Structure 1
């Protein structure tokens, strides 16, 4: 039986939210080693299934730029391999793909997340943004999509004109970076078509999935406390999380698990000074860009503009490590485009004949 978080209307979020990162001590000495990252790994993404599928509960667009004021790009009309690849092909020139999605979190959305991430890797597109507007959906689909997002280096946006409620909150937990300006709301999940007739029976149903949800939140760096809070909010209502709660529960800003996993790699490749400057930038970014006095009037574009202006003070983008610099996903074109490796996917790329069935390799 499928689990669903029923979408409900929500009030306005009083403050926008962004950055949360793990606090790590570093020495003032330039030759002091950065502390070792904890032995935490995300769940490996399963092989992408290219079986025929279509978006049945939402709409999606692909854009190769970050400025959504210019529109959301080309509509995703098909999830077939060749069609989706052709839609994303132009993004090789910018090195960035922004996936805008409006609708419910369903199995077809999970397929979209998996396939977009896989094709971005095939095409050498290293910067990925999920621009989401969703009132919820299926818990299992959100976990599946979240695991794909976590393994494919996505930044997630919730714009001022968008919302992220119920099952959508699980997607936030998986993002490498979360920029939140719209309302994020939670409530108690119920089993659609449940035959429970007592509190005890309903509680037993929920306990069957609680362990999976807790494990999912913890492996993605989010606090299991958010699940405990969910269980106290009746399904017919919605609890909109504050900026402080989003940060405390690990649902905004930099993902703590990913940040820890990246620390040693960045120190080796970019140097300890790079890591210290990045951490200093994020602290000031949180204070000046995420939660200024007029935060209620901010949108993602305002937060991004503030961060881009601020980071120059910390020497970013770094000339030696531009793609690892804070907010690198907004830095424009990557001129040195990697060549596609030969393989089943590359061999399937030619344009199909008119009227031909567009099945794709698994």
Structure 2
């Protein structure tokens, strides 16, 4: 009896070890990527398929011990100003360590504004960059966050991860003059709170990096799952599913540039439709349906007349407030809910009388102070 039990145990152990060995030897499926397109300027850069060690965005708030991550397919600069034409893009971010990010954002704390200029591919390093900047901006109470991007695309899965993370943090996104947002970069646009576009936005067919497909059927099967992920992502961020169709039909060697009208129609420019719905629900609940309708009309006017990449904070504020009387704001019954009062990422707050409130006073914190927060 004892021999039979021992033999059975040895058999189960050997089967378990064999299963582990098979799992170790099983090839890891490469992330889906959108190819480098001929229309993108600059040299092609390799997009690393190696993921950064997984860490939930909220966990970045709890510890200073962050997994190793690098910007190996792009560069980032940190600025505390809007006017890139006059003031440039700020200081280069040399590392993604906790203290490097703290030091980079510390000058932005008194102003309450951070703008990150990113040039390069969408990969795990980019996702880590945006999650880590968001975490430190939260710790430093920096409310206005802008991604000023120029990218020819990269990994679809990382674009979805980064976009979802940015949606939770309500980032504004700029594609300024001379910049471009191609391929999987359009998914980043979908996750933005507001999108100001003066450069190029384009899409083309996705493919799996290091694909082993030998037939159309095999290639279609490879892309079926990620196509579903893209559609779900677009839906929860208020963007049109037709973008996913373009990612499956436009030839990879071509680039389908989207017109200004298409960007609006597909939900990739201006304010995010889902966020607008959330804001509208909140405003309707507290101020009524008529107030909400007038607020929507103000928002359309603001997007058409005020929202441009690179405009100074003060100019946006002045433009938005100048529009308010046209739509009956400030409202006597609900003065604290005027449109400019809740445009996080664009405009400062106002008090119940409609007067501009200064940013919350903060004391400059050293890295160690932020770490203890």
Q: Is there any run of 5+ residues in structure 1 with no aligned partner, and where?
A: 13-43, 291-298, 351-362
Distance in 2 between residues matched to 1:209 and 1:46, nearest whole Å: 25
Q: Distance in 1 between matches of 2:234 and 2:345?
A: 26
> What does the per-residue CA deviation read over 1:133-187, in whole Å, with 9 as the maximum and x for residues that have no partner?
1010111111111111010011110001210000100000000111111110000
Choose 1 or 2 for highest CA Rg. Answer: 2
| Cα deviation 1:98-128 (Å, max 9, x = unaligned) | 1110110110000001011111111111111
Deviates more, 1:264-273 or 1:226-235: 264-273
Structure 2 Cα separation of the partners of residues 184 and 62 of structure 1: 23
Is the contact between residue 195 and residue 269 of structure 2 (CA under 8 Å) also seen in structure 1?
yes
Shift of 1:339: 8.1
- Cα 1:112–1:302, aligned 2, differ >3 Å: closer, same or farther? closer
Question: In 2, distance between residues paired with 1:88 and 1:8?
Answer: 33
Q: Which runs of 4+ in 1 moved over 4 A?
A: 267-274, 286-290, 302-308, 315-319, 325-328, 330-334, 344-347
Counterpart among 50, 59, 82 of residue 47 in structure 1: 59
Q: Report the secondary structure of 2:172's partner residue.
A: strand
Deviations 1:285-313 (A, max 9, x none): 445467xxxxxxxx623698588435413
Alignment partners' CA distance in 2, 1:127 and 1:137 = 26
Q: Which residue of 1 aligns with 2:264?
A: 247
Aligned to 1:218: 235
The equivalent of 2:131 in structure 1 is 114
Match of 1:301 in 2: 310
* Structure 1 Cα separation of the partners of residues 368 and 136 of structure 2: 9
Residues of 2 paired with 1:84 and 1:113: CA distance?
A: 11
After the TM superposition, which residues 142-291 of structure 1 pair with which residues of structure 2 at under 5 Å, given as runs?
Answer: 142-267=159-284, 275-288=292-305
Cα deviation, residue 7, structure 1: 2.1
Q: Is the alpha carbon distance of 1:283 and 1:208 closer, same or farther for their aligned partners in structure 2, counting shifts above 3 Å? A: closer
Show the counterpart of 1:62.
78
In the alignment, is the contact (CA less than 8 A) between 2:38 and 2:253 conserved in 1?
A: no
Contact 2:139-2:370 at 8 Å conserved across structures = no
Secondary structure (helix, strand or coil) at the match of 1:320 reads: helix
Question: Hey, what's the Cα distance between the residues in 1 that align with 2:371 and 2:142?
Answer: 18
SS at match of 2:68: coil
Aligned: 1:336 with 2:348:
no
Partner of residue 122 from structure 2, selected from 77, 95, 105: 105
Change (3 A) 1:336 1:289: closer
- Report if the CA contact (8 A) 1:62-1:98 is conserved: yes
* 1:348 paired residue number: 371
**Which of 152, 158, 165 is the matching residue for 1:135?**
152
- Check 1:75–1:259 CA distance in 2 against 1; reply closer, same or farther (3 A cut): same
**How has the CA–CA distance of structure 1 residues 310 and 333 changed in structure 2, closer, same or farther, with 3 Å as cutoff?**
closer
Q: What TM-score, normalized by structure 1, do the two folds share?
A: 0.76
Q: Distance in 2 between matches of 1:61 and 1:159?
A: 15
Contact 2:316 2:346 in 1 (8 A): no
Give the conservation status (yes or no) of the 8 Å contact 1:117–1:152.
yes
Higher relative contact order (CA 8 A, sep 6+): 1
Unaligned runs of 5+ in 2: 1-29, 42-55, 349-355
Query: Any residues of structure 2 matched to 1:62-81 within 5 Å, and which?
Result: 62-69=78-85, 70-81=87-98
Deviation (angstroms), 1:265 = 2.6
Q: 1:334 to 1:167 in 2, by over 3 A?
A: farther
The two structures have a TM-score, normalised by structure 2, of: 0.73
What is the distance in 2 between the residues matched to 1:338 and 1:272? 37
1:22 aligned residue: none
In angstroms, what is the RMSD of aligned CA positions? 3.3
Shift of 1:347: 6.3
SS in 2 for 1:132: strand
Distance 1:130 1:333, change over 3 A: farther
How far residue 75 of structure 1 moved from its aligned partner, in angstroms, is 1.3
